[in-house]
Amino acid sequence: MKKLLPFFYLLVSSAVAADKPNVIIVMTDDMGYSDLGCFGSEIETPNVDALAAKGLRFSQFYNFGKCCPTRAGLMTGLDSHLAGVGGMTRDERIPGYRGRLNLRCVTIGEALCPAGYRTIQTGKWHLGGAKKDWWPSRRGFDRVFGSPLGGGFYFRPSAFYSYREIVRNETVLYTPKKDPPKGWYTTDAYTDEGLAFVREAVGEEKPFFWYLAYNAPHWPLRAKPEDIAKYRGKYRVGWDKIRQQRHARLVELGLIASKWALSPRDGTVPAWSKLSEKQKDEQDHIMATYAAMVDCVDQNMGKIVRELKQLEVYENTLIMFLCDNGGSAEPSKLGLNKGKGVIGTAESFAYYGKSWANVSDAPFRKYKSNLHEGGIATPFVAHWPAGIPTARHGEIFREPAHVIDLMATCVDLSGAAYPETFKDQPIHPMEGTSLRPAFEGRSLKRKAPLFSEYAGNRAVRDGQWKLVADKGKKWELYDMEADRTELNNLATKMPEKVKALSALYYAWAKRCFVKKKKK
């Protein structure tokens, strides 16, 4: 009998692991709403498109409009201010803006570890500074490979970010003074290292949670020559034409309504026809590099799917794909290269600027950091063969959803217990809603509005209504059912609605430690 007990326990542990879905959250950096093929792009993303075809797309999925706040909300299921990351990683010495995760929250890793999950984080963390207590290895992740302090490099750590290094768990591997092997590229490395951790978990018959945070396609724009060559010349038609084409495809795909007009080209960006031939060639090269970076992400998604099938865990693995904010308009109206090397190489330092960010965020207005749709609307794909009925494959879920919902989803599907305390301190309850109903064809029945604040920009979404304002500007009011591209401001026509929604916003801001607006 004693000889049978270990075998019995092995069977039980295997059965438990089999019942619990594996979860992979993949997040890109500075990628716009219409940058995937399944969301209207000309960029080739067949692997993500295939996940969408046999899964779901969410047409109204939102982030917090900026890198660190989005990552904090995703990781904790809380408004980013409650987690301590209402801004970037600078400590402003006030509760909502400490620049790191506080102890009044737990991460998805910390929630799932007690449920028997192997927790993996690869790529960009960016939820704290150099102190190791703020690294993912100290916030619930068993296996880590990437850059705890942020991204900003591709072929090797950059001297521009002298404090950003590549680590495995807590061992520093590569620095601006210590290069990785020849041919190394972050997008590939973050995938390959994560897959090695996945193989380890599967070998130990553990369910796994993997948070894969690519730093692509964030500037500086750097990509492999063969990937750039694939797109060179495709953007000679210019940003005006590409925006129109994307809008038409989004309507055709059913992701946006035909009554929602394409927002006008940003008024500070010149018409493509006004550029010289030399300028057109440079802008084509810049956007081809950006497209190559997105293409490389998709190639790696294909690698992940193939490995999951090889390991025989594909059917019960939920993959969720999204981005952290809209396209980045930094630092100028046109794309430019501030580096010494050819655009796309390790010696270059290229941005695609407001002109191409306006394309990435089509059909919407504004950009990363803004809380208009261009800044906060993300493409979202969910794929889970064992959990999304075949009859729903390829469908579009149209209710608003948010990065804060991912914690609730992981806790729900894993059977984990969300704790009431962390390190002997009470923590905030989850604020998100599980996406399980969406997977099963039911309404989320969200009870509370969605709120955002970043750098004085502010927004509240309640049902069909959205109240939004840039820093120091008056509130704008939009009917999202009639005008999701935010072209018809109803604030002066509906002052009572503005008053009611703004009251909700200020009550939320007080509860969540949002900085008061300077008078």
- Res. 8: pLDDT tops 70: no
Please state, as a whole number, how many other Cβ atoms lie within 10 Å of the Cβ of residue 463. Answer: 10
Which CATH number goes with the domain that contains 70? 3.40.720.10
pLDDT-derived band at 163, boundaries 50, 70, 90:
confident
Distance (Å, whole) CA 176 – CA 153: 10
- Res. 251: pLDDT tops 90: yes
- Please check whether residue 219 is in contact with residue 161, taking contact to mean a CB–CB distance below 8 angstroms: no
Higher per-residue pLDDT: 433 or 3: 433
pLDDT of residue 164: 83
Domain count, the chain: 1
Strands 336-337 and 401-402: unpaired
pLDDT of residue 151: 86
Q: Which residues are catalytic?
A: 67, 126
- Res. 162: pLDDT tops 70: no
pLDDT of residue 11: 38
**Assigned domain for 411 exists:** yes
**Assigned domain for 517 exists:** no
Residue 311 corresponds to which amino acid?
L
Tokens of 379: 């493409």
pLDDT-derived band at 5, boundaries 50, 70, 90:
very low
**Assigned domain for 40 exists:** yes
Q: What is the mean pLDDT of residues 79-83?
A: 98
H or E stretch including 374?
Answer: helix 373-376
- Res. 237: pLDDT tops 80: yes
pTM exceeds 0.85 for this model: yes
Q: What is the mean pLDDT of residues 452-468?
A: 98
The mean pLDDT of the chain is 95
Q: What is the mean pLDDT of residues 109-120?
A: 98
Residue 342 corresponds to which amino acid?
V
pLDDT-derived band at 518, boundaries 50, 70, 90:
low
**Assigned domain for 258 exists:** yes
445: left (phi > 0), else alpha (psi -120 to 50), else beta?
Answer: left
What are the tens digits of pLDDT across the range 327-382?
A: 999 999 999 999 999 999 999 999 999 999 999 999 999 999 999 999 999 999 99
Distance (Å, whole) CA 284 – CA 499: 46
Q: What is the mean pLDDT of residues 68-72?
A: 99
Residue 169 dihedral angles phi and psi, to the nearest 5°: 55, -105
Of 178, 143, 151, 147, whose CA–CA distance to 293 is shortest?
A: 151
**Assigned domain for 480 exists:** no
Q: What is the mean pLDDT of residues 47-54?
A: 99
37: left (phi > 0), else alpha (psi -120 to 50), else beta?
Answer: alpha
What are the tens digits of pLDDT across the range 413-435?
A: 999 999 999 999 999 999 999 99
Distance (Å, whole) CA 357 – CA 331: 11
- Res. 161: pLDDT tops 80: no
**Assigned domain for 126 exists:** yes
pLDDT of residue 139: 98
pLDDT of residue 413: 99
The residue segments making up the domain with residue 163 are 4-445
pLDDT of residue 248: 99
Cα four-point dihedral sign 75, 77, 78, 83: negative
What are the tens digits of pLDDT across the range 116-145?
A: 999 999 999 999 988 999 999 999 999 999
Q: Residues, the chain, total?
A: 519
- Res. 80: pLDDT tops 90: yes
**Assigned domain for 160 exists:** yes
Q: What is the mean pLDDT of residues 7-12?
A: 37
- Please check whether residue 47 is in contact with residue 299, taking contact to mean a CB–CB distance below 8 angstroms: yes
Our measurement of the distance from residue 350's CA atom to the centroid of its chain's CA atoms, rounded to an integer in Å, reads 22
**Assigned domain for 475 exists:** no
pLDDT of residue 153: 86
Residue 387 DSSP label = T
